[in-house]
């Protein structure tokens, strides 16, 4: 996914000299290609994220198209006020790229684990939120972020979990994307970001009759499609590597409670911090986001068989 991010950013910058990349002293290999191909469009703003967002707002006012990169624990969480007042209030075309969302930077502890970023940004008017599941969704999210010329928060999670799509995507990224088709109308799985791969794995290993959708756009949400699914399925399972408070699960339940109530299980991070540091895989288990815990939660919630495996 990170290679796709680099390639797409370079392509956008080469096509439009007004595209700028601002980073908070991230000098590693991710930006080697950009610095080589577009050196005049690269700005290292230093470890001063609030100032960097203010710079991006000023540059956008001057006609530039800034992409602001940082770890999601800092972009957007550390700079919420600047995003709200400097960028979103005036609807400026700035793309905020938050890398390492969820538990990616697991060993660095709570300061670098980002499970509240969607909740923090959802309530800011005029700010779109994209959460790609793989490199193909990421390319479409970045392209659409550039084309829409509005404020966007691009949330990037675990980069090496594998693809959920077979190839490049077309059409709007602000629509649900069906990943697997099932025959059981008892449950529909809606997943975003890194948890889309977990939803596909759960379908293939345990629940082959369940249908699975990816939700790359948290805001705007594809309300029409979700309400149509609510009319056809008995229950939703929403999976996200984010707090169960204020994320995709909250957005889905808020919508459905008003227009078409449907039982919904939110599989995400409960209202607590991590108890221990460890690997990414360890933290997925600690917070109940590993495949076995997902199987148990779904089975308990909708009464699907506890262990159904495809051939």
Helix (H, G, I), strand (E, B) or coil at 239: strand
**To which residue do tokens 């008892």 refer?**
186
Q: Average pLDDT in the 69-76 region? A: 96
Q: What is the pLDDT of residue 159?
A: 86
Q: How does residue 11 score in pLDDT terms, banded at 50, 70 and 90?
A: very high
What confidence score (pLDDT) does residue 111 get? 92
* CB atoms near residue 220 (< 10 Å): 10
Please write the tens of the pLDDT for every residue from 26-67: 867 889 999 999 999 999 999 999 999 999 999 999 999 999
Looking at residue 29, its pLDDT comes to 86
Quick one: pLDDT band at residue 310, thresholds 50, 70, 90? very low
In the chain, what percentage of residues exceed pLDDT 90?
Answer: 92
Express as a percent the part of the chain with pLDDT over 70: 97
CA dist., res. 242 & res. 47, Å (int): 25
Full set of structural domains in the chain with CATH? 2-155 (3.40.50.970), 177-302 (3.40.50.920)
Q: Is the pLDDT of residue 145 over 50?
A: yes
pLDDT of 25: 85
Q: Which contacts (CB < 8 Å, 24+ apart) does range 286-289 have? A: 287/103, 289/195, 289/198, 289/239, 289/241
Q: Which residues of 106-144 are buried (b: 16+ CB within 10 A; e: fewer)?
A: beeeeebbbbbbbbbbbebeebbbbbbbbbbbbbbbbeb
pLDDT of residue 277: 87
């Amino acid at each position: 996914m990170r290679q796709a991010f680099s390639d797409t950013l370079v392509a956008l910058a080469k096509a439009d000299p007004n595209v700028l990349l601002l980073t908070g002293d991230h000098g590693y290999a991710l930006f080697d290609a950009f610095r080589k191909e577009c050196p005049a469009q690269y700005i290292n703003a230093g470890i001063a994220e609030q100032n960097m967002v203010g710079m991006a707002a000023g540059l956008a006012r001057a006609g530039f198209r800034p992409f602001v990169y940082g770890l999601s624990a800092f972009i957007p969480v550390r700079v919420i006020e600047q995003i709200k007042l400097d960028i979103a209030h005036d609807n400026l075309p700035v793309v905020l790229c938050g890398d390492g969302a969820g538990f990616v930077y697991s060993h660095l502890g709570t300061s670098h684990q980002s499970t509240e970023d969607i909740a923090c940004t959802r309530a800011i008017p005029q700010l779109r939120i994209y959460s790609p599941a793989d490199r193909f969704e990421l390319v479409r999210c970045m392209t659409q972020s550039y084309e829409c010329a509005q404020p966007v928060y691009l949330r990037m999670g675990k980069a090496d979990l594998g693809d959920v799509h077979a190839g490049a995507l077309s059409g709007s990224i602000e629509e649900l994307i069906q990943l697997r088709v099932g025959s059981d109308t008892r449950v529909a799985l809606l997943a975003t970001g890194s948890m889309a791969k977990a939803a596909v794995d759960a379908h293939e290993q345990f629940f082959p009759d369940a249908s699975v959708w990816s939700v790359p756009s948290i805001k705007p949400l594809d309300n029409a499609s979700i309400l149509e699914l609510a009319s056809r399925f008995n229950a939703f399972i929403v999976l996200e590597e984010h707090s169960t408070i204020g994320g995709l699960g909250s957005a889905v339940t808020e919508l459905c409670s008003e227009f078409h109530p449907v039982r919904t299980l939110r599989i995400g991070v409960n209202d607590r911090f991590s108890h221990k540091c460890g690997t990414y895989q360890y933290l997925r288990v600690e917070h109940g986001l590993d495949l076995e815990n997902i199987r148990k939660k779904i089975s308990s919630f909708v009464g699907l068989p506890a262990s159904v495996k495809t051939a």
